[in-house]
Structure 1
Amino acid sequence: MKQIELSALRAFVIAACLLSGCASNDIYRSDYRACTVTPANACEQNSLHLYNDGAANEYTLGFVEIDDQGQMRDRKQMQALLDTLYQKAAQESILLTVFVHGWHHNARPGDSNIEGFKDNLARISEIESRRSRELGRPPRKIAGVYIGWRGESIDVPPFNYLTFWDRKSTAQDVGYLGITELLVKLEEIANVRNSMTPPIKSRLVLIGHSFGGAVIFSATSQILASRFVDSQENKSFTDTAKGFGDLVVLLNPAFEALRYSPFYDLAQARCSYFPEQLPRLAILTSEADDATGILFPMGRVFSTVFETHRDIERDDCNLPLSLDEGEADRNTVGHYPPLISHTLTPATTESNSRLASYTNMKHLWSTQTPGNATQYGSTVLTHLNKTNPRNPYLNIRVDESIIADHNDVFNEKVMEFIRLLIGLSTDD
């Protein structure tokens, strides 16, 4: 059955390409020299950009492009980025944010995801400058890495909306292959400065949207599981749960809830967490995301028709879970209610919740109670009492007024929440 589906999909893609046109399969950023962006020079061919040099919102942005088979389009492009970041990290602490885009996007100059990512890096830089003055410490340099891949194989509407499953398969290849090497090396860069005991540590945050969320989850899931267990030699004590880098954020991710369920079980089996335990994985899915809420399960019905599933009952730490493997295999992680641990809703004047700021977030997080609600900027994060307080894995159902649809992930409401979450996980 799967082979027939793949053959039919290939035939469709070929026919559509002939009728309309396939998306570009060339590298976009072919000049690997660093370039200072000015109003007169957008540095569109360069893979290394410096923005707002000397200003409070200064940041560096690098591009790495991956092909459909999960290989670097040019390893020299990756190496130029790594060399620059290694040099920067050896001299001063950095806050490194990685973004992997999803369906319909790529590394083409002007892509809306690139522009949204740039705006968010500038805001993070402004916040870091302000926090450094408040705390009397040196500011970390802000660096971003945009990982580009061919987010659609056909770029002519309406054919591009029929490439969902073709791109899902490609996202899995991208996640399972070359990107893991890049992410591990970026984590190593963040640790360079930390080995020198600096005044403020370097930090690493990963953000993935849509199939980009699937890419990051595929690339890091086994590492996440291993670090949660943390089987350090001769270790005779329980520690806080570690993650990949300092925080992984997945926005409207397009992968099956069944792939996440072992992580839910792993974290749930630990009945308590230390007050200093911080979030390590945050999944945010809009209730109005039809791509992952409707289109994805429609396709999975045919993909799973010959697979066997069963019902699973769990009662770890007196928190029961009933898991229907078939439903979890057909629905995405953010649209399978049994695994959703939190909601994110708009704050109101009547909101009876604790108000988080960059100065008190760690205290509020460490003193959570079951069913706790905390206001982060203009949104309220509510614990649904289905997981343990301070559980480092959050699967958050987001109100449509905060994320309107599948692609509405760079609006200020959700970005404000994510920046506060980044601050919680990295502000030391």
Structure 2
Amino acid sequence: MKAIKMHPLQVFIIAASLLSGCASNEIYRSDYRPCDVSAGNACELNSQHNYNIGADDEYTLGFVEIDDQGQMRDRKQMQALLDTLYQKAAQESILLTVFVHGWHHNARPGDTNIESFKENLARISKIESRRAKELGRPPRKIAGVYIGWRGESIDVPPFNYLTFWDRKSTAQDVGYLGITELLIKLEEIANVRNSMTPPIKSRLVVIGHSFGGAVVFSATSQILASRFIDSRENKGFTDTAKGFGDLVVLLNPAFEALRYSPFYDLAQARCSYFPEQVPRLAILTSEADDATGILFPMGRVFSTVFETHHDIERNECNHSLSLDEGAADRNTVGHYEPLISHTLTPVTEEKNLQLANYKNVKHIWSTQTPGNVTQYGSTVLTHLNNTNPRNPYLNIRVDEAIIADHNDVFNEKVMEFIRLLIGLSTED
């Protein structure tokens, strides 16, 4: 094959384009004071926003930014937000929702993930206001935390698509370091409030998308394992499996199925769950997600070429598992068939489906049976009978009609399902 020769000027132009296209490595939210957002004031430089004050869709949104090495860009930014949330939780119960973005996103004002997260917080606030009136209790205040990191190192198309593996490595650093401290402190805020025996408990939900899903899994996986087993001193009983906060949701997460397999084994080794057991980890991956379904395993072929793998056979509680370590190490958690526990499909004309809503979702979940099929809003969740009913770890294959591609995770169909999961996991 004849080598392609490039003029030095061409090389210089390409290099200059890449350098000039490096994504910003500076803090976006440099004013740490709370700011009331209005039509004339977008509060773009502030790291704390108040929206729709006094309305049924009132909520607050805080930003915490992390650098490529997993360190806080400024610990004062994190502490200012924590101080505000501690004060708020001292006065009233809160429902905290954390979102960690993925590839191609950051904390820049106007980022599409920020706008979508804000819309979802407003919807959660409306639902909480309605449920409080129905149940005759005070509504929890809705607070969101957006964790921003450099989701790409080059922001010039098409070169930004070359950052996939660089950002995968960065996501692991972000997850293993500073974000764990932040998440634990946010959980502490909810727990301190709950120690006061309020009329309604404070709750914490953590959501991660794409490499943000890898960030969240890295930050919480060992905590999840510890709390599932619950080996505290003087323990004299078996309880429901606990999680991190109240629910962790991973959307089209970009990490290997092999990293999840120990959690699958852990949950399978428990042959039954109490009716009160609720989901603690929900992984949703679109069957049409080419980034995690095609691009990810293509790269893993080269990075695992010198590793050794084995075939593993498991049989726990009448459920068998054949695990090809090589395939599980190359494919993402949502695209490795043996570890899939559920499917999520659109509603069809099928009759006599159980219909879950905010009033009955706990009862429906507690009474499910192997192969159970339940309608959640405009979607249908089907248990594949590969796991035990009420297993708190759900690995869900999602139909492309619900999540069309890698980034289509904030559409109303999937958000409606997630909000019902939040209701299931956080309603007292």
Give the shorter-chain TM-score range. Answer: over 0.9
The amino acid of 1:403's aligned partner reads I
The amino acid of 1:126's aligned partner reads K
1:384 and 2:384 correspond: yes
Q: CA deviation at 1:21?
A: 1.5
In structure 2, distance between residues paired with 1:183 and 1:17: 37
In structure 2, distance between residues paired with 1:232 and 1:21: 51
Q: CA deviation at 1:353?
A: 2.0
Cross-structure match for 1:275: 275
In structure 2, distance between residues paired with 1:411 and 1:145: 20
Secondary structure in 2 matching 1:370: coil
1:309-330 deviation digits (Å, cap 9, x = unpaired): 0000000001000000000000
Alignment of 1:138-177 (within 5 A): 138-177=138-177
In structure 1, distance between residues paired with 2:152 and 2:17: 12
In structure 1, distance between residues paired with 2:197 and 2:232: 22
Cross-structure match for 1:185: 185
Residues 18, 159 of structure 2: 8 Å contact kept: no
In structure 2, distance between residues paired with 1:262 and 1:115: 35
1:125-175 deviation digits (Å, cap 9, x = unpaired): 000000000000000000000000000000010000111000000000000
In structure 2, distance between residues paired with 1:104 and 1:155: 8
Cross-structure match for 1:10: none
Q: CA deviation at 1:273?
A: 0.2
In structure 2, distance between residues paired with 1:159 and 1:175: 25
Residues 346, 401 of structure 1: 8 Å contact kept: yes
In structure 2, distance between residues paired with 1:353 and 1:390: 18
Cross-structure match for 1:264: 264
Cross-structure match for 2:412: 412
Residues 16, 154 of structure 1: 8 Å contact kept: no
Residues 17, 154 of structure 1: 8 Å contact kept: no
Residues 56, 126 of structure 1: 8 Å contact kept: yes
Cross-structure match for 2:400: 400
In structure 2, distance between residues paired with 1:58 and 1:160: 36
Residues 341, 395 of structure 2: 8 Å contact kept: yes
Q: CA deviation at 1:203?
A: 0.1
Secondary structure in 2 matching 1:329: helix
In structure 2, distance between residues paired with 1:92 and 1:381: 34
Q: CA deviation at 1:20?
A: 4.8
Cross-structure match for 1:194: 194
1:124 and 2:124 correspond: yes
Q: CA deviation at 1:19?
A: 5.5
Cross-structure match for 1:217: 217
Secondary structure in 1 matching 2:64: strand
Alignment of 1:14-413 (within 5 A): 15=15, 18=18, 20-413=20-413
In structure 2, distance between residues paired with 1:256 and 1:226: 21
In structure 2, distance between residues paired with 1:302 and 1:37: 48
In structure 1, distance between residues paired with 2:122 and 2:415: 12
Residues 16, 159 of structure 1: 8 Å contact kept: no
Q: CA deviation at 1:398?
A: 0.1
User: CA, structure 1 residues 16+102, in 2 after alignment: closer, same or farther (shift >3 Å)?
Assistant: farther
1:100-145 deviation digits (Å, cap 9, x = unpaired): 0000000000000000000000000000000000000000000000
Percent identical among aligned pairs is 89
Residues 313, 320 of structure 1: 8 Å contact kept: yes
In structure 1, distance between residues paired with 2:245 and 2:330: 30
Secondary structure in 1 matching 2:317: helix
User: CA, structure 1 residues 299+351, in 2 after alignment: closer, same or farther (shift >3 Å)?
Assistant: farther
In structure 1, distance between residues paired with 2:348 and 2:54: 38
Q: CA deviation at 1:234?
A: 1.1
User: CA, structure 1 residues 16+225, in 2 after alignment: closer, same or farther (shift >3 Å)?
Assistant: farther
1:32-88 deviation digits (Å, cap 9, x = unpaired): 000000000000000000000000000000000000000000000000000000000
Residues 89, 190 of structure 2: 8 Å contact kept: yes
Secondary structure in 2 matching 1:320: strand
In structure 2, distance between residues paired with 1:359 and 1:265: 32
Runs (5+) with no aligned partner, structure 2: 1-13
Query: Would you identify which runs of 4 or more consecutive aligned residues in structure 1 move more than 6 Å?
Result: none
The amino acid of 1:143's aligned partner reads A
In structure 1, distance between residues paired with 2:33 and 2:298: 45
Q: CA deviation at 1:212?
A: 0.2
Q: CA deviation at 1:192?
A: 1.4
User: CA, structure 1 residues 289+352, in 2 after alignment: closer, same or farther (shift >3 Å)?
Assistant: farther
Query: How many residues get paired?
Result: 416
Residues 343, 383 of structure 2: 8 Å contact kept: yes
Cross-structure match for 2:8: none
Cross-structure match for 2:6: none
In structure 1, distance between residues paired with 2:337 and 2:160: 30
Residues 356, 364 of structure 1: 8 Å contact kept: yes
User: CA, structure 1 residues 351+212, in 2 after alignment: closer, same or farther (shift >3 Å)?
Assistant: farther
Secondary structure in 2 matching 1:208: strand
Cross-structure match for 1:3: none
The amino acid of 1:337's aligned partner reads E
Q: CA deviation at 1:232?
A: 1.6
1:275-298 deviation digits (Å, cap 9, x = unpaired): 000000000000000000000000
